[in-house]
Amino acid sequence: MSILQKISEIEAEMARTQKNKATAHHLGLLKARLAKLRRELITPKGGGGGGPGEGFDVAKTGDARIGFVGFPSVGKSTLLSNLAGVYSEVAAYEFTTLTTVPGVIRYKGAKIQLLDLPGIIEGAKDGKGRGRQVIAVARTCNLILIVLDVLKPLAHKKIIENEVEGFGIRLNKQPPNIGFRKKDKGGINLTSTCVQSELDMETVKSILAEYKIHNADITLRSDSTADDLIDVVEGNRVYIPCLYVLNKIDQISLEELDVIYKIPHCVPISAHHRWNFDDLLERLWDYLQLVRIYTKPKGQLPDYTSPVVLPHRKTAVEDFCMKIHKNLIKEFKYALVWGSSVKYNPQKVGKDHVMEDEDVIQIVKK
């Protein structure tokens, strides 16, 4: 029996099962089995095999990476061509783009790499079409743009979300607040700091037993679901912000546009006419949460033209030094920082000081 058949059987059984307290334990077990089978699909067992696919993944350049995901013929290539000035083959038939086409834009001093990925079809997570490679490249992005056609129903949004979730990508979510630690003996120890509506000791035990884990400490710090626990145990999930780009707004009325503007995480544009690109770029910048740091050589004015761009979780002085060169941290004595992260300008700081957007830094070596 193939993995796909097993998956469809489990999905059918989950659809048949009523959701209530009595069946929660059984459903949790099925969900864990499903997650294990999905993982086997993505990383097939067995060694060797053929070499990597033809020119699919692209070397990472710039400060951030944005992937365009969507069905064929929703305007991903047109959007890339008009944003980055890169020619990605555009035609009126489906599946024009067959491999990843990269482009680069400069925005607010940051170099942002855009990837036009081939269209995905329903069933991509089960290996149909080029779906598996497309979503594997999407896992490496800092932000995913799901490009949708305004005229086609929102069912498309649901299908793409399902495909992406099946690959262990979680869109616009935070990692679940669950502590999980394996140990050698002592059984399963469950502590929760708040009331749990779904998980109880029995469900947790059955999910962990499916992974052959019989000794572990689990701390639930928020009201968690069985899916959250499975995500933590699997440990290969990536949490990526996502923007829905609704293309082809030149074909709808103003009243419909007002409704669209109320959908969360959504930007309506027209790639062909270049409408609303400035709003799109502004939203991209907000979602990427990049931090710009300006450098100041001793006795000169700060260089405001080319900032050093850091991701928002790694903005300490040490991260800044590593970004420039790893030897810089060995010679580091202290730094002078001007900006909103310090109390007075300039302030003498050590390598653990966390900087904010548009700070100016001068590094003093030993």
Q: In the chain, which stretches have pLDDT less than 70?
A: 42-57, 85-101, 119-132, 135, 153
Q: What is the 3-state secondary structure (H, E, C) of the chain?
A: CCHHHHHHHHHHHHHHCCCCHHHHHHHHHHHHHHHHHHHHHHCCCCCCCCCCCCCCCCCCCCCEEEEEEECCCCCHHHHHHHHHCCCCCCCCCCCCCCCCEEEEEEECCEEEEEEECCCCCCCHHHCCCCHHHHHHHHCCCCEEEEEEECCCCCHHHHHHHHHHHHCCEEECCCCCCEEEEECCCCCEEEEECCCCCCCCHHHHHHHHHHCCCCCEEEEECCCCCHHHHHHHHHCCCEEECEEEEEECHHHCCHHHHHHHHCCCCEEECECCCCECHHHHHHHHHHHHCEEEEEECCCCCCCEEEEEEEEECCCCEHHHHHHHHCCCCCCCEEEEEEECCCCCCCCEEECCCCECCCCEEEEEEEC
CATH of 290-365, one of 3.30.300.90, 3.10.20.30, 3.40.50.300, 3.40.50.12780: 3.10.20.30
- CATH code: domain 64-172+238-287 is 3.40.50.300
Instruction: State residue 177's pLDDT score.
Output: 85
pLDDT in tens, 30-52: 888 888 877 777 665 554 444 44
CATH 3.10.20.30 placement within the chain? 290-365
Instruction: State residue 50's pLDDT score.
Output: 47
CATH 3.40.50.300 placement within the chain? 64-172+238-287
The pTM score is 0.72
